[in-house]
């Protein structure tokens, strides 16, 4: 009985963790009117929408690793590679395109 309960708990945790990492709005649709592109100062906002569910709003981690000093160990290109291909439990393409560039620049400066 304990093994079944543990398996159920672990499965639920995994599903909830992965669901949190993939959240955010789909900005690929044309909504008319204003533009949905982010300016250079919006990397924090993109991170908050797409990444903070796993990495925490303060970058200290949670389901995902701590990113407070990620720029000390990973370059912008390394961060872009993780965003594109995923790593560990992180799915690929959580952030894409120009948004990925902005978030990678912002995170690479965290040293």
By mean pLDDT, which of 2-11, 18-27, 60-69 is the weakest?
18-27
What is the C-alpha to C-alpha distance for residues 61 and 50, in angstroms, rounded to an integer? 14
Express each pLDDT in 67-100 by its tens digit. Answer: 999 999 999 999 999 999 999 999 999 999 999 9
| Alpha-carbon gap, residue 96 to 12, rounded angstroms | 27
**Quick one: pLDDT at residue 4?**
72
Gap between the Cα atoms of 36 and 59, Å rounded = 25
- Domains annotated for the chain, with CATH where assigned, are 2-24+40-108 (1.10.760.10)
Name the pTM for this structure: 0.64
Q: In angstroms, how far apart are the furthest CA atoms of the chain?
A: 57
Residue 87: strand pairing partners? 90
d(CA 72, CA 70): 5
Q: Cα-flanking dihedrals φ and ψ of residue 87, to 5°?
A: -165, 130
Which residue, 30, 55, 51, is CA-closest to 93? 51
């Amino acid at each position: 009985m304990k093994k079944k309960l543990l398996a159920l708990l672990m499965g639920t945790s995994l599903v909830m963790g992965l669901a949190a990492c993939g959240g955010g709005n789909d900005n690929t649709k044309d909504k008319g009117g204003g533009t949905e592109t982010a300016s250079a100062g919006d990397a924090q906002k993109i991170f908050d929408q797409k990444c903070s569910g796993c990495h925490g709003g303060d970058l200290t981690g949670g389901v995902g690793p701590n990113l407070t000093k990620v720029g000390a160990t990973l370059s912008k290109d390394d961060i872009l590679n993780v965003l594109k291909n995923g790593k560990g439990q992180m799915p690929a393409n959580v952030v894409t395109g120009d948004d990925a560039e902005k978030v990678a620049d912002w995170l690479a400066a965290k040293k």
